[in-house]
Structure 1
Amino acid sequence: MKNTKRRKVETISTYDILPYLTANKERIKEELLELVRAESPSHDKDLLFHCEQTIKRIFTTHFGDLFELEQFPMEHTGNHFKYEIPAQPGPRILFLSHYDTVWDKGVLPIKEKQGRIYGPGIFDMKAGLLCSIWSVKALLQTKGSLPFSPVFLFTGDEEIGSSTSKEIIERVARTCDAVFVMEPPTARSYSLKIERKGVGEYKIKTTGISAHAGNHHKDGASAILEMSKIIQQLEGLTDYKKGTTVNVGKINGGSVSNVIPELAEIEVDFRVRNMEEARRVQYSIESLTVSNPEVDIFIEGGLNRPPLERTEENISLFEVAKAAGRRLGMEVKAASVGGGSDGNFTSAIGIPTLDGLGIPGGGPHARSEHVKFDLFPEKCALVAETLIQLTTKGWNLHPGTTSVK
């Protein structure tokens, strides 16, 4: 679906982003609440579609027909969709957001308390999604034009592994010069994420021979016994110095206590800082064997998200944001985290990526999920100022030496 009409953008005379955003704070809040009320659990196709329509309505309200829409319909997950301005000059900057959440409908109430707004998916990451829209809106309204080419990609399956959006994310990112991931920041208000661990999962099954635990114990081959040995080997792969963790988070097996168990199953999560560790862990897991020849082992899985590594290009991009923060009187710091995002994909294919550009708050995937709404204008201003610094003053992709703290 394409629309090539152009809309004249109304401008205001004073080029001052933060006052503009502050003046629109109540409108921003109304849109944020509208977006959060459009609940969007990852597995509910109808609710995801309603949220998609809500995003499109908000987007069109701000930009009219200035942007061209491209849609990626999905059969089972939320749809994915992209907006960009046809033939817009300047560096292409991808704003990457997902709109699906981990919460079933009605589980979390929406409420305001002491400057915080609570609700399903508000922190992770509907506030950040809206921040990307208002950052570009503020630049258009205060500057009158854009020195870059914005690309917005909204996806609907991040919380369940991005299996249908990964290829689209990578394809779009390859056409862009940098990626701004609108995921929430760390606990520090203005800490941006320049390093995320890679995430992998395995399912492992052992099958043995059942037998009566009293009369024919020696005729059985315990799947649980062999799995217990496997679990110890898996947990032994954890290496905190390297930032590697392996966790057996779920186990099932056996039937009743007086039967030798013929089946055991586990689910394994692993996190790594770099691809070298990813290869070590994957080889170790996929090479696992059992000591009892009468027990079979079946292993499936692998690395879901490659690590977002501390590359020169990513650090260089962070330094631009840090300088933008100084201009606004904000101390922007770098952070490394264990969780993954869709930014892991874009960084792994070599596109400079900066993560954590969403709104400060807390409680991701927790009942306390919230944003500090009073900081919304400031964080949007930081994103906008970073874009200005990035596109009008040049950007050295190979800075030589950097100082990231």
Structure 2
Amino acid sequence: MSGSSAQSAALVQDLEELVTCESFSSDLEAVARSAQVVAGMGARHLGARPELLVIDGVTHLRWTFGTPRVLLLGHHDTVWPIGTLRTHPWSVADGVARGPGVFDMKAGLVQMFHALAGLGSLDGVTLLVTGDEETGSATSSKLIEDTARGLTATFVTEASADGGALKTARKGTSLYTVDVHGKAAHAGLEPEKGANAGVELAHQILAIAGLGSGGTTVTPTVLSGGTTFNTVPARATVGVDVRVETLAEQARVDAEMRALRPVVPGTRLEVQGGPNRPPLEARMSAGLYTLAQKLAAELGLAPLASAAVGGASDGNFTAGVGCPTLDGLGAVGGGAHADHEHVVLAEMPGRTALLRGLVEATLGRG
């Protein structure tokens, strides 16, 4: 077997090991089992066991070599409930791997380990693999920020955008719940004695939807309210998803959400939530993307494209603390969170080499 064939086979073997260990974010025991598998794989490739950091029951992993300068960042949890392997089994056919989490983002973890295994020295490198990215990183956000603060660069091995494009900008996210408190009354006998929370919610939904501007989207999502057909609703609620390109826009929307005022007499508003992830602004990735383009050409890879995406990742946190961040360095394929999730295996060696080159160059060894 040639060297390139052996490398490809090793990548696929490791990918199968991770995919066949299910790691649904909401099943903390499954996430803990997955962490042990990831730890073992990392130990084989890097020659060291990680710290296992359990925060509110969620298991994260971190390797630190020397004085950190470069962070490689990923997550081992997935959106797929335990048992999904029965309906979406691991498979390889026609150069494509399939299975729950194969694209988002277990192939990225495999590429991370193989990239670093090829370095002469790991001094200056930190790896952080979190266990709750898919549910908003509630337990890991501070860990990510503390790990990235003051470093030279963060490379995120989340899956690529369409066609293998790197993710050079990600929108920041904010999440809100708006509760309307009204007053119940009989809808037939004396509706005038009530304060209709449902009608008030309708006013608020229109006001909230109007807060979007340019690249900022403000989207009312989950709605609920009322108890019975013949009762004026005393309570109604809407969830709000916000996506922004800049910190300034995130602050503007936050201020306007908190400035909402009721229209229907007798009702009261309660706004909860706020910014979840800051944006990864294009300026935070520009230098690293230029470097990646140069390295791709030197490695004989296809020219790299870039993409600005609405979805957020843990790279938003690293950019938010001022660490230059390049995202989307993981698998080439598609179908994240969908039945057709897949990875193009032929792309894995080249993406691994690109990541290795980025780390070497950033550490001054390229």
- Where on the TM-score scale, by shorter chain, does this alignment land: which range? over 0.9
Instruction: Determine the structure 1 residue equivalent to 2:27.
Output: 44
Select which of 251, 274, 278 maps to 1:279: 251
Instruction: Determine the structure 1 residue equivalent to 2:97.
Output: 117
Instruction: Determine the structure 2 residue equivalent to 1:254.
Output: 226
Cα offset for 1:278? 0.6
Q: CA separation in 1, counterparts of 2:288 and 2:102?
A: 26
Instruction: Determine the structure 1 residue equivalent to 2:289.
Output: 318
Instruction: Determine the structure 2 residue equivalent to 1:83.
Output: 63
Select which of 102, 116, 131 maps to 2:79: 102
In structure 2, the CA distance between the partners of 1:75 and 1:392, relative to structure 1 (3 Å rule), is closer
Q: Can you list the C-alpha shifts for 1:299-354, whole angstroms capped at 9, x where unaligned? A: 1000100000112x520111110100111232012210001111111111111111
Select which of 31, 39, 50 maps to 1:56: 39
Contact 1:97 1:129 in 2 (8 A): yes
Cα offset for 1:86? 3.6
**In the alignment, does 2:146 pair up with 1:163?**
no
In structure 1, stretches of 5+ residues that fail to align are: 1-18, 395-405
Instruction: Determine the structure 1 residue equivalent to 2:187.
Output: 213
Contact 2:46 2:113 in 1 (8 A): no
| Seq. identity, % | 37
Q: CA separation in 2, counterparts of 1:375 and 1:99?
A: 21
Contact 1:84 1:151 in 2 (8 A): yes
Q: Can you list the C-alpha shifts for 1:133-165, whole angstroms capped at 9, x where unaligned? A: 00111x23xxxx238622111111111111111
Q: Mapping of 1:150-189 within 5 angstroms?
A: 150-189=125-164
Cα offset for 1:385? 2.3
Instruction: Determine the structure 2 residue equivalent to 1:297.
Output: 269
Contact 1:21 1:381 in 2 (8 A): no
Q: CA separation in 2, counterparts of 1:347 and 1:178?
A: 9
Select which of 313, 319, 341 maps to 1:347: 319
Q: Mapping of 1:55-74 within 5 angstroms?
A: 55-64=38-47, 67=48, 69-74=50-55
TM-score (norm 2): 0.94
In structure 2, the CA distance between the partners of 1:297 and 1:316, relative to structure 1 (3 Å rule), is same
TM-score (norm 1): 0.85
Q: Mapping of 1:122-161 within 5 angstroms?
A: 122-137=102-117, 139-140=118-119, 145-146=120-121, 149-161=124-136
Q: CA separation in 2, counterparts of 1:86 and 1:277?
A: 38
Cα offset for 1:59? 1.3
SS of alignment partner, residue 62 of structure 2: strand
Which residue identity lines up with residue 96 of structure 1 in the other structure?
Answer: L
Which residue identity lines up with residue 258 of structure 1 in the other structure?
Answer: N
Q: CA separation in 2, counterparts of 1:356 and 1:257?
A: 49
What RMSD in Å do the two structures reach over aligned CA positions?
A: 1.7
Cα offset for 1:175? 4.9
Q: CA separation in 2, counterparts of 1:56 and 1:256?
A: 53
In structure 2, the CA distance between the partners of 1:276 and 1:136, relative to structure 1 (3 Å rule), is same
Q: CA separation in 1, counterparts of 2:144 and 2:123?
A: 20
Q: CA separation in 1, counterparts of 2:306 and 2:3?
A: 27
Which residue identity lines up with residue 31 of structure 2 in the other structure?
Answer: L
SS of alignment partner, residue 50 of structure 2: strand
SS of alignment partner, residue 30 of structure 2: helix
